[in-house]
Amino acid sequence: MSTAANEPARSRGKAPAGERIADWADGRLGIYSLAKANMRKIFPDHWSFMLGEVCMYSFIIIILTGVYLTLFFHPSMNEVVYHGSYVPLQGQMMSEAFNSTLHISFDVRGGLLVRQIHHWAALIFLAGMFVHMMRVFFTGAFRKPREINWLFGFLLFVLGMFTGFTGYSLPDDLLSGTGVRFTEGAILSMPIVGTYISYFLFGGQFPGHDFVARFYSIHILLLPGIMLGLMVAHLILVFYHKHTQFAGPGKSNTNVVGMPLLPVYMAKAGGFFFLVFGVIAAIAAVAQINPIWAMGPYRPDQVSTGAQPDWYMGFAEGLIRFMPGWEINFWGHTLVLGVFIPLVLFGVVLGAMAVYPFIESWVTGDKSEHHILDRPRNAPTRTGLGVAWVTMYMITLVGGGNDLWATHFHLSINAVTWFVRIFFFVGPVIAFIATKRICLGLQRRDRDKVLHGRETGIIKRLPHGEFIEVHEPLSQEQLHTLTTHTQYAPAEIGPLVDENGVERKVKASEKLRVKLSSAYYGEDNQIPKPTSDEYKEITSGHGHH
């Protein structure tokens, strides 16, 4: 159909197909203004800023491979007799879930590889989130305005743990069944509500006939749905806040220095997705994970040694393993502290990470926005607390694998357990003190570098015989980078009398805040950074060194 209005356009020749498609889409979606606003979005360049990408890509890989697995998995606990191709299980009774997982592993084309990609990607996803979270923590990227995004990320980590848990429980093998039993025990240890929750979750007595189907819904629909939403929100906030950057010349709290999203970051990120997929696929092709055929079908009367959860639940295992088996009996009721305390600690250890940004901002009283990252050494108390937390986490992981430590290092499992019991408390303290000392040492070194320059390693002999090492002054850029961070002054208790001269009551929280603030920023808890006066005095002066 041709109209008069179309004639002039045609006379100039048709626009390229791509432009016409874009025009068509713009008329309906308004993509031009969106693209104009976002295509030149700037991202700074640093390898640690790509850790989040590792998580996002492995999450996508998990979803893609997971969809393939759902095509063949039967989430049912009906008992069947195995007639598949794995000989050592032929004729055994097992649930349909286990049977179909064996079917995927041995009889579906590519099934085992996809299963292994799915599982390895899950381990890497969680490990990536852990490292990403640590990167954000140690660089102070969680500070205003990013506290909510920190919480989103934290929720993603916790939901990831439970998605992983419900996922590895699905095959209904002996290892995962033991893990589900463990979970049932943890639920039962809750006072009053425990038994009700357990009956509700398992549809009656453990194991019942329901949990695989229920975990399946949770694993493939509920949790990943929430996670996908959170991940999108997480990314939207990254876009909205813009990315943080390390301090450096030309970088300030009001700009972002880096490369535009299009074309540079699209190409980089797109390529990085395939690299992540490639690495995970290569690992899945080379290394076996969760060989359920070797573990056999779950039966509540069977158990194996070395029954540990995947690594991200390992610290829960550790908490249980090193907790003494205390219990209190009263009026015919039992409070199993040996399980209930670890359950509480599970929440406390994780929760500490979630609330940290709010604690720090309360202590500093800093309400300004931060887009420049801290170097960990410049926040010694925060860095020390972070390392203490990681130490505690790692110690519980050691506790979770205490039997393997014992067998592989020829130790007594009792000794390993006692080591973990003691170092669960002592380790973080030592780690905190050592880290803080190291940070302060590094701050002193930075100060020396700024004031006296870099040690060149060149030894010079002066006419009168003295040997000195030649120090090379730092460039202006390096000086800026080393001295640009803000140093807080410790908070002080305000005037003790109000404007009317009436004595004011100092609240306990205020006292606590002042105490904490001096622990963060007080004397000996940070090294004053060199001032420009000090710098001038030293550099202008004669008699260098």
Partner 1 sequence: MKKLSARRRHPLAAVVVLLLALAATGGLYAAFAPASKAQADETSQSLTIKEGRKLYEVGCASCHGTGGQGSSDGPSLVGVGSAAVDFQVGTGRMPAATSQGAQAPRKKPVYTQTQIDQLAAYVASLGAGPVVPTKQQYGPAGADVAKGGELFRTNCAQCHNFTGKGGALTEGKYAPTLEGVEPKHIYEAMQTGPQNMPSFPDTTMSSQNKKDIIAYLHAVDSSETTNPGGLELGGLGPVSEGLFAWIFGLGALIAVAVWVAARTAKAKKS
401 binds partner 1 (CB under 8 A): yes
Of positions 68, 106, 162, 393, contacts partner 1 by CB under 8 A: 106
Nearest approach, Cβ of residue 78 and partner 1 (Å)? 19
Shortest distance, CB of residue 276 to partner 1, whole angstroms?
A: 6
Q: How far is the CB of 218 from partner 1 (least distance, A)?
A: 20
Footprint of partner 1 on 51-90 (CB under 8 A) = 51, 53-54, 87-90
Which of these ranges, 17-25, 186-194, 356-364, 408-416, lies near partner 1 under the rule CB under 8 A? 408-416
Residue placing its CB nearer to partner 1 in the complex, 310 or 446: 310
The answer to whether residue 308 forms part of the interface with partner 1 (CB under 8 A) is yes
Considering the complex, what minimum distance in angstroms separates the CB of residue 518 from partner 1?
37
Residue with Cβ nearer partner 1 (226 or 264): 264
DSSP state of 243: -
Cβ-Cβ contacts under 8 Å for 282 (sequence gap 6 or more): none
Determine the size of the site formed for partner 1 (CB under 8 A).
74
- Look up residue 100 and give its DSSP letter: H
Residue listed under structure tokens 């004397």: 523
What character string, x for contact with partner 1 (CB under 8 A) and - otherwise, covers 475-514?
Answer: ----------------------------------------
Q: What is the DSSP string of 445-465?
A: HHHHHHHH-EEEEEEEE-TTS
Least Å from the CB of residue 160 to partner 1:
14
Q: Which helix (H) or strand (E) holds 119?
A: helix 111-138
Interface pick for partner 1 out of 76, 116, 189, 383 (rule CB under 8 A)? 116
The binding track of 310-349 with respect to partner 1, each residue x by CB under 8 A or -, is xx--x-----------------------------------
434 is written with which tokens?
């050592």
Residue 470, both tokens = 């030649």
Residue 402's nearest CA partner among 390, 412, 392, 388 is 412
Single out the residue of 216, 231, 99 nearest to residue 168, CA to CA.
216
279 scored as a contact of partner 1 (CB under 8 A)? yes
User: In angstroms, rounded to a whole number, what is the distance separating the alpha carbons of residues 154 and 167?
Assistant: 20
Minimum distance between the CB of residue 132 and partner 1, rounded to whole angstroms? 10
Could you say which of 2, 11, 305, 532 contacts partner 1 (CB under 8 A)?
Answer: 305
Check binding of 300 to partner 1 (CB under 8 A).
no
Task: Specify whether the CB–CB gap between 260 and 39 falls below 8 A.
Answer: yes
Q: 381, exposed or middle or buried, with CB in 10 Å at 0-12, 13-18, 19+?
A: buried
> How many other C-beta atoms can be found within 10 angstroms of the C-beta atom of residue 403?
16
Query: String of b and e for 82-103 (b: at least 16 CB within 10 Å)?
Result: beeebeebeebebbbbbbbbbb
Rounded to an integer, what distance in angstroms lies between the CA atom of residue 401 and that of residue 410? 14
Q: Of 156-215, which residues contact partner 1 (CB under 8 A)?
A: 174-175
Stretch in the footprint of partner 1 (CB under 8 A) among 16-24, 229-237, 272-280, 486-494? 272-280
